[in-house]
């Protein structure tokens, strides 16, 4: 019979490698790894402690054994500490030591010092490398205040940065997007004027996270701009807007957001309040085209107004003018031209009657180089005479040809329908190979008769009918951006050649290019042509971020039912010969108009001059730019 030993507990066999894992060497290495993982400063403190122990131990040995590195056995312990410390930080100090006891101790102390110094140098190099890598990743905190924060990466970013830096060169622009910060920096600086990029900062992070917004120091920002990334959905903008509101509230600073449709804009305004300024890029372009169709040349004026490099719209409270009239204010400034008032209640009155009294809390709206120019000079009285200028309020009968199609067409027709004369005709020509007829949704119109047909070559339509204006839209709904612009440029060349052959170069041509950088590729010589691009929306977003009150001003200028921009001749103002701009302002005020500059004739180079000095000379061939 076989007997088996009986034990209370079966012994577990050792696992393979157990002793190796729990060896003293591995445990020491594990402790060191945990120590290093706690950060550079912890390691520096340990190195300092080790140095202190080595110096104290060396000094103690020198004191116990009555010897000294200096050869003076009566040297105090402080001297021994100092000499030991010198040998830790400087290996050459031990060269003069005599006696093998001193030499061995000095050698140990010096070797320890070399190890500590090597470790310290490695830590410093590693810390600097980590810091540089962190800066490249764009995760460090922005210690700025009064800066602009742009959230998102978009093709419109370059224009926005350019406009923001020109509007205020002292303010930094911080771009936060879910892209590599170093790549964003290289891409933008390669396209921007080097003199404008000195305070341009890029940070990498998701704008939909509060932690990322903290990196951009959104709490001390002057304004926030939220962009739509072409690769992202519109809902991301809404989420980012609410994230900004959750972080800082909707009352502290202006938030300018790029939205895709009117419904989104209205809903956002309803839940966020008036400090949010939504911009629909397509709507801005449609309003610009509609404005240009009303009167040729106005588009060039608006382009100058929304360009931060040119004199623009500024709002400022001027206590010195309180109690006076708006007519007197028109002549109170040398290079600032008044166009309206914003009351204490926030209501805008564009080109009010010249007898309107300026009250406490009213702010002057003026076209000026900057807000500092809205400073009263020598008092001048307004005009006493009355003149009358009758604008043609009857809308003209228009025959419009639209070549190509995208979502902008819907908004353009809606805007155009508001001021066109009943019976105006619009013909839409599209290439069936690019976009089918079913993809073109025509809006319901009141004053416009719409027709649509397909043709790969628009020349036939130009020969059959004489149009008053031609609009070329990009096939952006069916083609990629670059390809759509390429097709538009081809159609523009065909239109230009056909108009030249038919001697119709006076026909107004409006061209939509998706990318503003491709405007230089358009051959516009000899055409009364205006180019609309995404730069319009970019300019407006930068304008509203720098001064939110401008949104109401531009909305009123675009609205055909409100006071708007007009071009009048010098003869209409009663000026027969060349005159000073002060004479122009007086004549304009007498006609209940606000003059802000002039547009030179084609013979003189077709140039827009805004907010000129009162002493400037105006040629009788120039068209006066007025608000009325």
CA distance 116 to 476: 65
Instruction: Classify residue 397 by its DSSP letter.
Output: P
What pLDDT is attached to residue 8? 47
CA distance 140 to 418: 51
Which element (helix H / strand E) includes 45?
helix 40-64
| Residue 34 tokens, joined | 């945990």
What pLDDT is attached to residue 181? 84
CB within 8 A of 436, min separation 6: which ones?
A: none
Q: Which residue from 316, 287, 351, 367 is spatially nearest to 608, judged by alpha carbons?
A: 367
Match 């102390």 to its residue by tokens: 109
Q: ∠ at Cα 190 (187, 193), nearest 5°? A: 130
Helix orientation angle between 535-546 and 281-294, rounded to the nearest 10 degrees: 100
CATH of the structural domain 399-467+469-506, one choice from 3.30.2010, 3.40.50, 1.10.287, 3.40.462: 3.40.50
CA distance 233 to 287: 24
- Half-sphere CA count of 250, side-chain side, radius 13 A: 17
Is residue 478 helix, strand or coil? coil
Cα 42 versus chain centre, distance = 42
Which residue numbers in the chain have pLDDT < 50? 1-2, 4, 6-12, 16-17, 384-385
Contact 152, 208 (CB under 8 A): no
Contact 383, 587 (CB under 8 A): yes
| Residue 198 tokens, joined | 């000195």
What number of other Cβ atoms are within 10 A of residue 406's Cβ? 21
- Half-sphere CA count of 104, side-chain side, radius 13 A: 4
Match 């709206």 to its residue by tokens: 365
Contact 322, 360 (CB under 8 A): yes
| Residue 343 tokens, joined | 């009351």
Is residue 116 helix, strand or coil? helix
CB within 8 A of 327, min separation 6: which ones?
A: 354, 355, 382, 383, 589
pLDDT tens profile 105-137:
777 777 777 777 777 777 777 766 666 666 666
Is residue 438 helix, strand or coil? helix
Q: Is there a common fold for 148-274 and 399-467+469-506?
A: yes
For 138-280, where are the alpha helices, taking DSSP H only?
157-167, 181-191, 210-215, 234-248, 262-272
What pLDDT is attached to residue 457? 87
Contact 253, 275 (CB under 8 A): yes
DSSP string, 585-623: HHHHHHTT-EEEEEE--GGGT--EEES--TT-EE-TTSE
Contact 43, 36 (CB under 8 A): yes
Give the torsion sign (CA, 573, 577, 580, 582): negative
Is residue 534 helix, strand or coil? coil
CB within 8 A of 301, min separation 6: which ones?
A: 565, 567, 597, 599, 608, 610, 625
CA distance 541 to 490: 31
- Half-sphere CA count of 148, side-chain side, radius 13 A: 28
What number of other Cβ atoms are within 10 A of residue 222's Cβ? 18
What pLDDT is attached to residue 524? 66
Q: Which fold has domain 20-137?
A: Helix Hairpins (1.10.287)
CA distance 344 to 360: 8
CA distance 174 to 383: 48
CA distance 66 to 175: 67
Contact 591, 558 (CB under 8 A): no
pLDDT tens profile 517-556:
787 777 666 667 888 887 888 899 999 999 999 988 988 8
| Residue 424 tokens, joined | 């105006």
What pLDDT is attached to residue 64? 66
**Domain definitions of the chain by residue range:** 20-137, 148-274, 286-390+540-627, 399-467+469-506
CA distance 293 to 490: 23
CA distance 287 to 458: 25
CA distance 624 to 609: 10
What number of other Cβ atoms are within 10 A of residue 30's Cβ? 12
Contact 86, 59 (CB under 8 A): no
| Residue 331 tokens, joined | 């002549």
Write the Ramachandran bin of 526: left for phi over 0, alpha for psi from -120 to 50, otherwise beta: left
Class of domain 148-274: alpha beta
Instruction: Classify residue 371 by its DSSP letter.
Output: G
What number of other Cβ atoms are within 10 A of residue 580's Cβ? 16
């Amino acid at each position: 019979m076989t007997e088996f030993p009986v034990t209370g507990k079966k012994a577990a066999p050792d696992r393979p490698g157990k002793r190796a894992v729990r060896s003293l060497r591995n445990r020491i290495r594990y402790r060191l790894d945990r120590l290093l993982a706690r950060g550079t400063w912890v390691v520096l403190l340990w190195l300092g402690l080790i140095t202190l122990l080595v110096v104290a131990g060396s000094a103690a040995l020198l004191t116990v054994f009555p010897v000294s590195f200096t050869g003076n056995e009566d040297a105090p312990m402080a001297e021994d500490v100092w000499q030991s410390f010198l040998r830790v930080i400087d290996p050459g100090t031990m060269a003069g030591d005599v006696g093998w006891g001193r030499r061995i101790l000095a050698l140990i102390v010096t070797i320890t010092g070399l190890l500590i110094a090597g470790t310290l140098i490695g830590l410093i190099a590693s810390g600097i490398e980590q810091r540089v890598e962190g800066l490249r990743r764009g995760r460090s905190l922005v210690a700025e205040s009064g800066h602009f924060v742009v959230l998102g990466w978009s093709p419109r970013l370059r224009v926005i940065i350019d406009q923001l830096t020109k509007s205020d060169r002292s303010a930094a622009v911080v771009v936060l997007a879910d892209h590599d910060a170093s790549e964003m920096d290289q891409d933008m600086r390669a396209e921007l004027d080097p003199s404008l990029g000195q305070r341009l900062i890029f940070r990498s992070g998701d704008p939909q996270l509060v932690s990322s917004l903290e990196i951009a120091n959104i709490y001390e920002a002057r304004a926030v701009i939220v962009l739509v990334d072409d690769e992202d959905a519109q809902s991301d903008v809404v989420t980012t807007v609410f994230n900004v509101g959750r972080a800082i509230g909707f009352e502290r600073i202006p938030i300018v957001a790029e939205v895709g449709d009117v419904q989104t804009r209205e809903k956002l305004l309803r839940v966020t309040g008036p400090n949010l300024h939504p911009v629909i890029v397509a709507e801005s372009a449609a309003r610009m085209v509609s404005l240009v169709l009303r009167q040729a040349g106005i588009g060039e004026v608006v382009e100058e107004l929304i360009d931060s490099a040119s004199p623009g719209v500024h709002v400022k409270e001027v206590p010195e003018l309180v109690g006076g009239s708006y007519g007197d204010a028109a002549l109170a400034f040398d290079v600032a031209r008044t166009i309206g008032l914003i009351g204490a209640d926030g209501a805008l009155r564009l080109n009010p009657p010249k007898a309107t009294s300026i009250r406490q809390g009213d702010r002057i709206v003026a076209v000026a180089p900057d807000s500092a120019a809205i400073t009263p000079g020598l008092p001048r009285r307004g005009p006493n005479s009355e003149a009358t200028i009758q604008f043609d309020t009857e809308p003209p009968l228009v025959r419009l040809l639209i070549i190509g199609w995208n979502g902008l067409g819907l908004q353009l027709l809606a805007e155009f329908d508001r001021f066109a004369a009943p019976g105006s005709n619009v013909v839409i020509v599209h290439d069936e190979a690019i976009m089918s007829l079913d993809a073109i949704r025509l809006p319901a119109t009141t004053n416009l008769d719409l027709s649509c047909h397909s043709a790969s070559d628009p020349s036939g339509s130009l020969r059959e009918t004489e149009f008053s204006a031609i609009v070329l839209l990009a096939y952006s709904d069916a083609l990629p951006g670059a390809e759509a612009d390429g097709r538009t440029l081809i159609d523009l060349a065909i239109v230009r050649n056909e108009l030249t052959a038919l001697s119709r170069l006076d026909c107004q041509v409006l061209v939509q290019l998706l990318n503003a950088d491709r405007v230089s590729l358009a051959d516009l010589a000899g055409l009364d042509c205006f180019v609309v691009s995404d730069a319009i929306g970019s300019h407006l977003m930068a304008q509203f971020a720098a001064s939110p009150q401008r949104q109401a001003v531009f909305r009123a200028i675009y609205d055909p039912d409100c006071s708007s921009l007009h071009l009048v001749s010098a003869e209409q103002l009663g000026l027969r010969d060349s005159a000073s701009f002060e004479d122009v302002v007086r004549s304009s005020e007498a006609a209940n108009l606000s003059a802000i500059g002039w547009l030179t004739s084609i013979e003189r180079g077709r140039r827009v001059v805004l907010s000129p000095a009162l002493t400037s000379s105006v040629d009788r061939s120039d068209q006066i730019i007025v608000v009325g």
